[in-house]
Structure 1
Amino acid sequence: MLKAQRLIRLIMIINAKKSFTVQELADEFGLSYRTITRDLLELSELGVPIYSVQGRGGGYKLLQDRILPPIAFTESEAVALFFACQSLQYFGSLPFDEGASSALHKFYHYLPADVKEQIDRLQNKVAIWSPHRRMSPDCLRTLLKAIMIRKVVTIEYSSRSGTTERNIQPIGLYSSDGYWYCPAYCILRSEQRLFRADRILSATLNDAIPWSDDVEQWNLQNTPEKSRSEQTSLTIELTPNGVWALEADIWFGTAIERREDGSGTATILVPAENLKFYVDLIWKLGGDARILYPAQAIAYTKQKLKAMNSQYL
């Protein structure tokens, strides 16, 4: 039996036994005590939660009961999963501890030698870039855990108007342009709000406030729309370069109406209170985008231009 096959079988056996001795495994596999000890050490280094039980009748146990069974992948599936997992390294923070790098290490360890060699040739030649943004991974983990175990979260949130304490029920988490966002039901405002994770200064689970089953029905694709009076229409004119830059944008991409010369316009409905956020996105395009409507967005852009101009007088 190949070593990789033996280790997989070993995982399945100890997962079923929960408690065992090295000699029991040695007898079952027909191998020496020393070989099984080395295998257990290797599994432990790969993250299988095995710990020794001291004293009379001691042996080994699993630290926790749930270990996923082995899954067979084709070579193309293995390469795809490897790079999907590896792409996460470019994020400044992630909501799941060291799970991604640990899983990647285990996955790579058991790949056939020729597949490893192919992947090694692609190192530093294939990447999924994401702008590096600094934020608290602890807050991200708390928000993710809250969704998984159905808990309200108390956050300290910093915005233009100052720092406030909010109790929120997270709806989901998503990343855009390197930032993490958390749409959530804000109990203080009694409505859905969008929170940028790097502006969350602290986040703790709150057992005192009950979880809403109605809010749980919402997700990233299906959230309650605010009344039309709270929204405003934002219209922009785009050069061909502007169209090219925004065509993959999560907010503007599908709204672009292209002309034959490659230029275009885009109109989207945005929450009035978040208008400056969308204007700041357009600002990055410089002369490749011009705001046509509303007047508040144009006025805000002129303020930004005036402030920028004053830096070079």
Structure 2
Amino acid sequence: MQKSQRLIQMMMRINAKPSFTVRELADEFNLSTRTITRDLLELSELGVPIYSIQGRGGGFRLLQERLLPPISFTENEAIAMFFACQSMDYFSSLPFGEGADSALHKFYHYLPADIREQIDRLKNRIMFWNPYRLMSAEILQTLLKAIMTGSVVNIEYKSSSGVSERKIQPIGLYASSGYWYCPAYCFTREEMRQFRVDRILSATLNESMAGREDVSQKTLLDKPNKNDRKQITLELEMTNKGVWLLESNTSFGPFIQQCEDGSGSLTMEVAAEDMKFYVDLIWQFGDEVKVVGPTEATAYIHQKIESMRLLYHR
């Protein structure tokens, strides 16, 4: 066996069993303890985090963060992996600590020179842009750890009704429009809820409370929806430009019925509690989109118009 192959196999063996002795490896690889000791020293110089155990029995141990063996990539795979990692650059906070930046740096550093040149030419020409949203990386990391371990988290959450303390068991994290969201079982409300991470003021793992097994089995495919809550029918009329403005919005686009002259209408069911949210989205389009119903929505529009009139009244 070539030495390079032996070192790769030894790295995989160490990853599988972090605590070992030189004699164990020598017997497994049918080599002398002296050769194994030299190999371990070489792996350590290459960055494998091995340290010796002092005292009776002795031996070696791998630090908490294990290393993966080398993986071969084609040129296209390497470029795809680089930009997949770089796609996270435009999030203000990530739940991975410095791991993402460190991985991207290593990946780029060890690419062949010609591939690095290709990537350099693409820098600032391909972006996965997200609006900048300020939030805590530490809170994201706490939530990620809770997801991995099925733990409960104590949080302070700021909603429209004020700040409240909750105990939640997260089922996942996902990002949309620059925001991070955390669907979780709320022990306070005794149901699945969705929390926006930038509204979580603090988050700590609850060491004394066990998570629910049924919740730990859920994924983001089980995240809560509001179809089982009271619904209202939102009705809109749009000019040609209004259709153009709304058709790219994933909340409205699928429901637009376009007329022959280019104008359009829309009828969709929304949760009653979200009515103001949808009307506020529509408000930005001015007279290009008209709210026809329900009466609660048109009344809210009149209220907003009156507030604006009073604000600018002289």
The verdict on a shared fold, with TM-score over 0.5 as the criterion, is yes
Instruction: Assess if the C-alpha contact under 8 Å between 2:179 and 2:198 holds in 1.
Output: yes
2:26 corresponds to: none
Is 1:193 the counterpart of 2:187? The answer is no
> Structure 1 residues 20, 213: CA separation in 2 closer, same or farther (over 3 Å shift)?
closer
Please say which of residues 251-260 and 146-155 is displaced more in the overlay.
Answer: 251-260
**Residue 104 (structure 1) shift:** 0.9
Q: How does 1:149-298 map to 2 (within 5 A)?
A: 149-223=149-223, 226=226, 228=228, 230-298=230-298
**Alignment RMSD (CA, Å):** 3.5
In structure 2, C-alpha distance between the alignment counterparts of 1:300 and 1:268, rounded to whole Å: 18
Matched residue type, 2:13: A
Cα distance, 1:157–1:65 mapped onto 2, change above 3 Å = closer
Q: Call closer, same or farther: CA 1:118–1:199 in 2, change over 3 Å.
A: same
TM-score, normalised to structure 2, is 0.77
Alignment-derived partner of residue 131 in structure 1: 131
Assess, with a 3 A threshold, how the Cα gap between structure 1 residues 154 and 26 changes in structure 2: closer, same or farther. closer
Amino acid at match of 1:184: A
- SS for the counterpart of 2:221 is coil
The whole-number CA distance in structure 2 between the counterparts of 1:220 and 1:252 is 23
122-131 or 138-147: bigger deviation: 138-147
Amino acid aligned to 1:198? D
- Cα distance per residue 1:35-86 (max 9 Å; x no partner): x5xx855x54xxx5x2655989x99853136322322222222212211211
Equivalent-residue separation in structure 1 for 2:241 and 2:120 (angstroms): 36
Deviation at residue 89 of structure 1 after TM alignment: 1.0
Residues 77-120 of structure 1: CA distance to partner in whole angstroms, max 9, x if unpaired? 22122112112111111122122211111211222211111110
Q: Secondary structure at the match of 2:153?
A: strand
Question: Would you say the 8 A contact 2:156–2:201 is kept in 1?
Answer: yes
Rounded to whole Å, the distance in 1 between the matches of 2:207 and 2:136 is: 22
Distance change >3 Å, CA 183–CA 90, structure 1 → 2:
same
Aligned length: 295
Cα distance in 1, alignment partners of residues 117 and 59 from structure 2: 38
Match of 1:16? 13
Which residue number in structure 2 is paired with residue 304 of structure 1? Answer: 304
Q: CA deviation at 1:121?
A: 0.3
Question: Which residue matches 1:116?
Answer: 116
Identity over aligned residues, as a percent? 52
How many Å apart are 1:272 and its aligned residue? 2.3
* 1:198 Cα deviation after fit: 0.9
Q: Which runs of 5+ in 1 are unaligned?
A: none
Q: Which amino acid aligns with 2:300?
A: Y
Gap change, CA 1:208 and 1:65, over 3 Å in 2: closer
Bigger shift: residues 59-68 or 99-108: 59-68
| Deviation larger for 84-93 or 273-282 | 273-282
8 Å contact from structure 2 (residues 169, 185) kept in 1: yes
Q: Could you tell me how far apart the structure 2 residues matched to 1:65 and 1:293 are? A: 57
Q: Write the distance in 2 (CA, Å) between the matches of 1:274 and 1:209.
A: 33
Counterpart of 1:16 in structure 2: which amino acid?
R
Distance 1:307 1:10 in 2: 72
User: Relative to 1, partners in 2 of residues 1:151 and 1:59: Cα closer, same or farther, differing over 3 Å?
Assistant: closer
Q: Using the alignment, how far apart are the partners of 1:248 and 1:105 within structure 2?
A: 36
Q: Which has the larger radius of gyration?
A: 2
- Give 1:107's aligned amino acid: F
Is the 2:7–2:39 contact (alpha carbons within 8 Å) kept by the matching residues of 1? no
Matching of residues 87-106 of structure 1 within 5 Å: 87-106=87-106
Distance 1:159 1:77, change over 3 A: same
